[in-house]
Amino acid sequence: MIDEGLFERFPVDAVFAMHNWPGMAAGQFAVSPGPVMAPNTEFVVVIHGRGGHAALPHTTVDPVPVACEVVQAFQTILTRNKKPGEAAVISVTAIQAGQSNNVIADACELKGTIRTFSLETLDLIEARMTQIASHVSSAHDAQCELRFNRSYPPTINSAAKAELGREVLIGIVGADNVLVQEPAMTAEDFAFMLQARPGAYAFIGNGDGAHRTLPHGAGPCTLHNASYDFNDALIPLGATYWVKLVERFLA
């Protein structure tokens, strides 16, 4: 949208957004200046072996155990290579190899994401992942290829607009219910808009899960979960923030 001229066609002075936050009490908000969400780097690792009959593994180069070693070894980057004070996450979220129970596949593909607030740490992680995957594969007579895609930048609130949002929220729910925003390792495409215009990205508490009905279960439900249920009681509260924010900004 930005590349296609959104802000040239519709000039704006500032941008604001809000995301519900399970586990934060309904009636509470959080907004703070600076980084509030991490950049997202997606990766794909393909380990190439030599397929064959599952009953004759000695005639093959099985990529699956190689992939298992690689996945385990990736976590040592976080515990032994990066600085302890630097926040970072490496999550392998998909593994795909073969389609039959009696055939060793030719290749195994790993997909996942890297999250960190530091470009230096991201460079380190990508370099070490490349070394680990290449060397582990080589040790088992396999080959590998890696691809990294730095898809989302960090979500960074401007100080002035975050303070404006905080003041408006205090007027709605009181200072005790406007929390400091703890930076999260989740990523957000609104970050691109914050690169183009000053603004603030706030969290609205989704509650303790009491609004959820069976068969979803009790308690709050994390984001990106099949049992997630938005708390509809928040709609008037969130809408009030938008109205008051516009009134204050345009005053």
Model's pTM, two decimal places? 0.85
DSSP 50: B
The per-residue pLDDT for 219 is: 64
First to last CA, the chain: 28
Q: Give the amino acid at 73.
A: A
Q: Can you read off the two tokens belonging to residue 245?
A: 């924010």
CA-closest candidate to residue 17, choices 238, 248, 250 = 238
Peptide bond into 215 cis (omega under 30): yes
- How many other CB atoms are found less than 10 A from the CB of residue 223? 12
Q: What is the pLDDT of residue 82?
A: 96
For residue 158, the cross-strand partners are none
Average pLDDT across each block of 10 residues of the chain; the chain has 251 residues. List them in order. 96 96 94 96 98 98 98 98 95 97 98 94 97 98 98 95 98 98 94 97 91 67 79 95 97 93
Task: Provide the pLDDT for residue 207.
Answer: 87
Do 220 and 72 form a contact (C-beta atoms < 8 A)?
Answer: no
Q: Give residue 5's region: left, alpha or beta (phi > 0; psi -120 to 50).
A: left
Of 29, 22, 26, 30, residue with least CA distance to 218: 22
pLDDT of residue 118: 87
Q: Rounded distance, CA 60 to CA 53, Å? A: 8
Residues in the chain: 251
- pLDDT given for residue 225 in this prediction: 79
The dihedral through the CA atoms of 223, 224, 229, 235 has a sign that is positive
Whole-number pLDDT of residue 221: 72
CA 135 to chain centre: 28
One-letter amino acid identity for 52?
G
Domains of the chain, start order: 6-37+154-250 (3.40.630.10), 40-152 (3.30.70.360)
pLDDT at 14: 98
Between helix 63-76 and helix 119-139 the angle, nearest 10°, is: 150
* Separation CA 13–CA 44 (nearest Å): 38
Rounded to whole angstroms, the Cα distance separating 180 from 163 reads 11
